[in-house]
């Protein structure tokens, strides 16, 4: 099974590293993965990790069973036009990782006369940068068929939810942009910790483990954030004082406004 990653930059490179580290579960060995980028500098670390690399998109997609497109959204149409006649639509699946591209766009761009009545299997995939650690929250919107190879590949890289296209803009804001929001909370908590006399590296360790604990509590069935918050907020206690002080500074509305602002329209 050959996997081609077109546009191996930040996201494509992270996907490549995740697939390499999960071998042999999806790809058998790093050499089954071919990463393409016009810049050889971007490809060097992936070549060192054992992937095959090329500056030619056409060479990368030849014989590939799964083509993952990771270029910037405004380049998707041109890259599809370049590669579509070199992909075998009878078996290959195409996964497009790009915000603001729709199933209807892809249907139009991927159409090729030579494929006869057969349409390619394609989907939109929205991971986050935790793919490189196989901890991504990834969304998949199927365009045609169920795209089982894409589901399996991204299933090695964390959790995958297959969703309807209408939910994708909000899901992108929550989980792809959301990585930055969670990290900004950590940074803010570190700034507070330093003011309280704790060195930043030690504070980071404390905060990260606290967040892992909080997230793990919510992975138990039937839990809700407010139920868990109730358990730590004694009436008249310190935690409720802290929470109320954060809310006076607009904590919840800042998060809601941020999510709305980063939902692609």
Q: How many CA atoms lie within 13 A of 128 on its CB side?
A: 21
Site string for ligand NAD, 8-27 (x = CB under 6 A): -xxxx---------------
Piece in contact with ligand NAD (CB under 6 A), picked from 21-29, 32-40, 141-149, 222-230: 32-40
Least Å from the CB of residue 175 to ligand NAD: 9
Cα(253)–Cα(232) distance, integer angstroms: 22
Least Å from the CB of residue 224 to ligand NAD: 28
State yes or no: residue 6 binds ligand NAD (CB under 6 A).
yes
State yes or no: residue 84 binds ligand NAD (CB under 6 A).
no
Q: Which is nearer to ligand NAD, 44 or 200 (CB)?
A: 44
State yes or no: residue 71 binds ligand NAD (CB under 6 A).
yes
How many Å separate Cα 109 from the centre of its chain? 23
Least Å from the CB of residue 179 to ligand NAD: 7
State yes or no: residue 160 binds ligand NAD (CB under 6 A).
no
* Residue 258 counted as an annotated binding residue: no
Of 27, 35, 37, 66, the one binding ligand NAD (CB under 6 A) is 37
Q: Which region, left, alpha or beta, applies to residue 197 given φ > 0 means left and ψ of -120 to 50 means alpha?
A: left
- Binders of ligand NAD among 200-229, rule CB under 6 A? none
Least Å from the CB of residue 95 to ligand NAD: 11
Residues in the site for ligand NAD, rule: CB under 6 A? 6-7, 9-12, 36-39, 42, 57, 70-73, 75, 79, 97-99, 126-129, 176
Annotated binding site: 6-11, 57
């Amino acid at each position: 099974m050959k996997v081609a990653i077109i546009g191996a930059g930040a996201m494509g490179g992270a996907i490549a590293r995740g697939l390499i580290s999960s071998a042999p579960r999806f790809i058998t060995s790093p050499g089954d993965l071919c990463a393409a980028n016009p810049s050889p500098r971007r490809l060097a670390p992936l070549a060192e990790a054992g992937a095959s690399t090329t500056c030619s998109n056409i060479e990368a997609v030849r014989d590939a069973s799964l083509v993952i497109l990771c270029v910037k959204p405004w380049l998707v149409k041109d890259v599809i036009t370049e590669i579509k006649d070199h992909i075998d639509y009878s078996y290959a699946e195409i996964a497009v990782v790009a915000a603001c591209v729709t199933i209807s766009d892809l249907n139009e761009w991927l159409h090729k006369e030579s494929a006869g009545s057969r349409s390619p299997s394609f989907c939109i995939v929205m991971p986050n940068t935790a793919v490189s650690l196989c901890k991504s929250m990834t969304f998949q919107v199927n365009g045609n068929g169920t795209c089982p190879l894409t589901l399996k590949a991204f299933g090695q890289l964390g959790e995958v939810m297959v969703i309807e296209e209408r939910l994708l803009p909000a899901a992108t804001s929550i989980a792809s942009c959301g990585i930055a929001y969670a990290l900004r909370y950590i940074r803010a908590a570190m700034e507070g910790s330093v003011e309280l006399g704790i060195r930043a590296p030690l504070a980071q360790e404390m905060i990260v483990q606290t967040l892992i604990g909080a997230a793990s509590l919510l992975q138990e069935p039937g839990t809700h954030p407010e139920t868990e918050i109730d358990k730590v907020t004694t009436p008249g206690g310190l935690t409720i004082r802290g929470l109320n002080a954060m809310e006076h500074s607009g904590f919840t509305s800042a998060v809601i406004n941020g999510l709305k602002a980063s939902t692609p329209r």
